[in-house]
Structure 1
Amino acid sequence: MIVVSAASGALGRLVVAALLDRMPADQVVAAVRDPARVADLAARGVVVRRGDYDDPGSLRAAFEGADRLLLISSPELDTRRRTRQHLAAIEAAVAEGVGAIAYTSFLGADRGGDGMNAAHHATERVLLDSGAAHTVLRHPFYTDAFVDAGIGAAAESGRLVSAAGGRGLNTATRADLADAAAAVLTGDGHTGRAYDLTGPLWTYPQLAAAIGDATGRPVVHEEADAVPGAMGFLMTLARSGALERQTDDLHHLLGRPPTSLRQAVADAVDTCPDGALSEGAESD
């Protein structure tokens, strides 16, 4: 039996879907804070259990009988609380005798515990010290976030503004990362391994071109000194070269090349709500 924690989230749902392609539904457990949010999974035969990162008792019940567990990192932003939640999950898994734990960490967490990687670094250390069989899956940023934001900008104005300085980004799609997790959970030879997962490098001019090709509308890329908000922070990282690291780990786990930027854009355009792009064009 395989348990997926935080299974009601975007990544968790994709992992569950990938597992259902590989094994019977009654051998997949969706551990979630609110079981009502995954009634659709229960209808497909998935075992649904309450598992709240802030309720250690619920975690033990959720992990009971598990051969393997995917511990999806908490979305909590406070480092101390997030670390505490992960520790509670690891302690519950060890107490229940879970055979192996796979944890979704972040690229660079092995190199230090500063900033956004603090909780990931601490969790990796706790996993190592726990003595539990485990695998670390260090994720990059999601391609989906950049593509969705880019399509939105292009639909509104036909322009895509970035401040990445032409540097590359090594993002990966959620779907690819979910497939990689499912491969680890259902395969052998991963215990004791840490995978640094990266997708193919891409640049903002390439994103603009891909959006133009997928929508049939010209999209002009413009380079700025800075952009506001969370995307501006990510572009600052890109401009520094921090997102250009490359490995073959994701390719290895998938058994195929990771999804290209062009394919990710094409998929996103195909799933845009009806009229979303045309509404953007009408506002020009």
Structure 2
Amino acid sequence: MIVVTAASGALGRLVVEQLLTRFPDRPVVAAVRDPGRCADLTARGVDVRHGDYDDPATLRSAFRGADRLLLISSPVMDPDHRTRQHLAAVAAAVDSGVRAVAYTSFLGADRGGDGPNAAHHATERAIIDSGLGYTLLRHPFYTDAFVDAGLRDAVTSGKLVSGTGGRGLNTALRSDLAAAAATVLTDDAHLGHGYDLTGALWTYPQLAATLTEVTGRPVEHVDGTVETPIGFLMNLAKAGLLERQTTDLERLLGRPPTSLRQTVTEALRDA
């Protein structure tokens, strides 16, 4: 039996979908804070259980009988709070007899625990020290935060503004990361490994050219200041901090990560 935590979230639902579609013989449990939000999963035969990161007793109950656990990192941004939540989940996995855990960490968490990666680093160490079998899935930023239906505005105006200085971004789609998670949850060959997952490197000038190609309307990239929630990510890109590349995601998928053109096509179709 496979338990997926935070299964009502965007990534969690995608992982559950992957498991139901590709591995229908593997029982799936969705551990969620509010089971009432998951009637659709219950209707599909998923065992939905109450599992709240802030209530360890519910985690022990939710994890009972599990062979494998996907621990999706908490959305809480305070590192101390987040660390407490994750360590409670690791302890609950041990207490519940879970055999192995896969954890959605972040790129660079193995290198140290400073800043945003503090909770991820602490969680990785706790998992390794717990005696559980483990697979560490170090994610990049999500492509979904950059390439979405909002790009229709750039097509309309003919201008795509970024603050990246034309530098590359190694983001990956949630759907590709979910597929990779489903793979490691169902194959013991991945136990004991940490994977640094990156998509194909892309730039905003390439994104503008792809928008032009897909829509048939000219879109020009303009480098400037972007006042959006992802503005700080663009600053990281401009500093060259999002250009690290590995082949780990491609190897787990058994195919190249979803192309920029396909991502743009799907994003605009949903606009």
TM beyond 0.5: yes
Across the two proteins, how many residue pairs are aligned to each other?
A: 271
Query: Which residue number in structure 2 is paired with residue 260 of structure 1?
Result: 259
SS at match of 1:137: strand
Q: Percent identity?
A: 70
Contact 1:12 1:72 in 2 (8 A): yes
C-alpha distance after superposition, 1:198-252 (max 9, x if no partner): 000000011112122223322111012x322432210111011110001010011
SS at match of 1:61: helix
One-letter code aligned to 1:269: L
Distance 2:141 2:210 in 1: 19
One-letter code aligned to 2:177: L
- Asked whether 1:186 is paired with 2:186, we answer yes
SS at match of 2:92: helix
Gaps of 5+ in 1: 273-284
Distance 1:195 1:102 in 2: 11
Contact 2:145 2:230 in 1 (8 A): no
Query: Which residue number in structure 2 is paired with residue 120 of structure 1?
Result: 120
Query: Which residue number in structure 1 is paired with residue 108 of structure 2?
Result: 108
Cα 1:64/1:251, change in 2 over 3 Å: same
Contact 1:29 1:47 in 2 (8 A): yes
- Structure 2 length-normalised TM: 0.96
Distance 2:152 2:2 in 1: 37
Distance 1:134 1:110 in 2: 14
Query: Which residue number in structure 2 is paired with residue 61 of structure 1?
Result: 61
Distance 1:160 1:51 in 2: 42
One-letter code aligned to 2:94: V
Cα 1:149/1:121, change in 2 over 3 Å: farther
Contact 1:25 1:45 in 2 (8 A): no
C-alpha distance after superposition, 1:118-163 (max 9, x if no partner): 1111111111111111110000011111001751441552211111
Contact 2:154 2:160 in 1 (8 A): yes
One-letter code aligned to 2:5: S
Query: Which residue number in structure 2 is paired with residue 241 of structure 1?
Result: 240
Contact 2:2 2:69 in 1 (8 A): yes
Distance 2:240 2:192 in 1: 29
Distance 2:104 2:192 in 1: 14
C-alpha distance after superposition, 1:84-130 (max 9, x if no partner): 00001000001011010000000011111111111111111111111
> After TM superposition, where is structure 1 displaced by more than 4 Å over at least 4 residues in a row?
none
Contact 2:4 2:69 in 1 (8 A): yes
Contact 2:149 2:267 in 1 (8 A): no
Which one is further off, 70-79 or 125-134? 125-134
Distance 1:158 1:61 in 2: 54
Query: Which residue number in structure 2 is paired with residue 94 of structure 1?
Result: 94
Contact 2:31 2:49 in 1 (8 A): yes
One-letter code aligned to 2:240: G
Query: Which residue number in structure 1 is paired with residue 231 of structure 2?
Result: 232
